[in-house]
């Protein structure tokens, strides 16, 4: 698996995912503001990886601000605003602020050390969470099944294994055959440039399809399950993920195919009642007007470009977390998994 993020002790090395699959290049991030830019520009992307990057961004803030809490809180607000939909980002900022405030009585140096140590903990825990999600998802699959995934919830979106792709990596390790289909995922083509890239490089049986080909494959009986990641799960089980996931869920429901959502604990927002309460990021229209920088539509034509949509809970067969598998009713069962009051 390609290394996506690394802490050097005073800076962060990020795999520049805007350059994949054409080249593998890293950018060095030395300030929290540059980290916010990297998140906004999608040099680093994927909800879990954004959370890890934000945690390190707060560590960089501790260094730059010399442990001064007010400045660290201001940098946290900038990082939090970089992308509003993925709850991992705000979760990581909040985790870091708690660590900083708890360490404040020890002085500025203690604050900075706490931010660095906590970021490294969040980094390590992400890989552990992903593997456990993979173990649970693998129990829902049988050898030879065809599985469709949308966008990139893979190793490139995390620190290891991915979330939706974690069972694919584990199946590969154990010699369990799976047929994987990856939607190209317009408009930024993360399925083509990232998911197909990483699974193909890992030697898996992966086939790339256009977004509008999923229905035909389902009709032909080639898809037995759909697994996607998510950027935020509401308390009732509604799940926000890359635009197009809602469409796939409608197709899966029509053909009687189970849709599983891979959801790390930090992605579940128990303070968000339903999907209607999830903020949806809208991005620049040129992401649709252009493909790989080439204009494919009239310059200046109005564009609607939401980055995410919400799949309603009734379209989801199960939400798979590091703590286990939650089946409907999701509010009751997710709360039980995480010890939250229903």
Note the pLDDT of residue 42. 96
Residue 328's closest CA among 313, 342, 338, 340?
313
Same domain (yes/no): 109, 157: no
Beta bridge partners of 325: 320
As annotated, the active-site residues are: 231
Same domain (yes/no): 219, 149: yes
**Whole-angstrom distance, CA of residue 217 vs CA of residue 62:** 50
Tens place of pLDDT per residue across the chain (342 aa): 689 999 999 999 999 999 999 999 999 999 999 999 999 999 999 999 999 999 999 999 999 999 999 999 999 999 999 999 989 999 999 999 999 999 999 999 999 999 999 999 999 999 999 999 999 999 999 999 999 999 999 999 999 999 999 999 999 999 999 999 999 999 999 999 999 999 999 999 999 999 999 999 999 999 999 999 999 999 999 999 999 999 999 999 999 999 999 999 999 999 999 999 999 999 999 999 999 889 999 999 999 999 999 999 999 999 999 999 999 999 999 999 999 988
Other C-beta atoms lying within 10 Å of the C-beta of residue 40: 15
- What is the domain-level CATH number for residue 44? 1.20.120.420
Q: Is the dihedral of CA 208, 219, 258, 47 positive or negative?
A: positive
**Whole-angstrom distance, CA of residue 334 vs CA of residue 323:** 10
Whole-model pTM over 0.75: yes
Q: Are 151 and 241 in contact (CB under 8 A)?
A: yes
**Whole-angstrom distance, CA of residue 15 vs CA of residue 5:** 6
**Whole-angstrom distance, CA of residue 230 vs CA of residue 150:** 10
Same domain (yes/no): 95, 170: no
Same domain (yes/no): 158, 184: yes
**Domain limit, last residue, from 76, 108, 130:** 130
CA distances from 122 to 10, 48, 155, 266 (A): 17, 10, 16, 10
**Domain limit, last residue, from 76, 99, 130:** 130
- What is the domain-level CATH number for residue 265? 3.40.50.10470
Same domain (yes/no): 110, 148: no
Residue 63's closest CA among 117, 3, 128?
117
Same domain (yes/no): 39, 165: no
* CA–CA–CA angle 304, 307, 311 (5° rounding): 105
Please give the tally of structural domains in the chain. Answer: 2
Same domain (yes/no): 176, 239: yes
Range of the domain at 109: 5-130
Same domain (yes/no): 175, 246: yes
Same domain (yes/no): 146, 293: yes
The gap from C-alpha 255 to its chain's centroid, in whole angstroms, comes to: 27
**Domain limit, last residue, from 81, 96, 130:** 130
Same domain (yes/no): 167, 297: yes
Same domain (yes/no): 191, 250: yes
Same domain (yes/no): 121, 174: no
């Amino acid at each position: 698996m390609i290394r996506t993020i690394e802490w050097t002790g005073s800076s962060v090395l990020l795999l520049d995912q805007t350059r994949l699959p054409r080249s593998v290049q890293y950018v060095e991030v030395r300030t929290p503001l540059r980290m916010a830019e990297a998140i906004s520009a999608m040099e680093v992307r994927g909800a879990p990886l954004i959370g890890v990057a934000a945690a390190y961004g707060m560590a960089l803030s501790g260094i730059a601000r010399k442990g001064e809490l007010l400045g660290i809180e201001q940098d946290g607000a900038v990082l939090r605003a970089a992308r509003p939909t993925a709850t991992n980002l705000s979760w990581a900022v909040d985790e870091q602020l708690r660590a900083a405030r708890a360490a404040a009585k020890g002085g500025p140096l203690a604050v900075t050390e706490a931010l660095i140590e906590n970021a490294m903990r969040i980094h390590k825990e992400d890989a552990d969470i992903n593997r456990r999600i993979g173990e649970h998802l693998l129990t829902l699959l049988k050898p030879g099944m065809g599985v469709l995934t949308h966008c990139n919830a893979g190793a490139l979106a995390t620190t290891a294994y991915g979330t939706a792709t974690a069972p694919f990596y584990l199946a590969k390790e154990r010699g369990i055959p799976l047929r994987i289909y990856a939607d190209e995922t317009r408009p930024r083509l993360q399925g083509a440039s990232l998911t197909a890239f990483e699974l193909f490089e890992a030697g898996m049986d992966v086939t790339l399809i256009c977004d509008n080909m999923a229905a035909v494959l389902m009709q032909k009986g080639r898809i037995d399950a759909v697994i996607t990641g998510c950027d935020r799960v509401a308390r009732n089980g509604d799940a926000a993920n890359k635009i197009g996931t809602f469409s796939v869920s409608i197709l899966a429901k029509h053909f009687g195919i189970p849709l599983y959502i891979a959801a790390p604990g930090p992605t579940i927002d128990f303070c968000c009642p339903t999907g209607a309460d999830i903020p949806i990021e809208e991005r620049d229209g040129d992401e649709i007007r252009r493909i790989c920088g080439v204009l494919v539509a009239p310059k200046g034509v109005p564009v609607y470009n939401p980055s995410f949509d919400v799949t309603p809970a009734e379209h989801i067969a199960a939400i798979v977390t590091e703590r286990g598998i939650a089946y409907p009713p999701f509010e009751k069962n997710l709360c039980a998994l995480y010890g939250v009051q229903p």
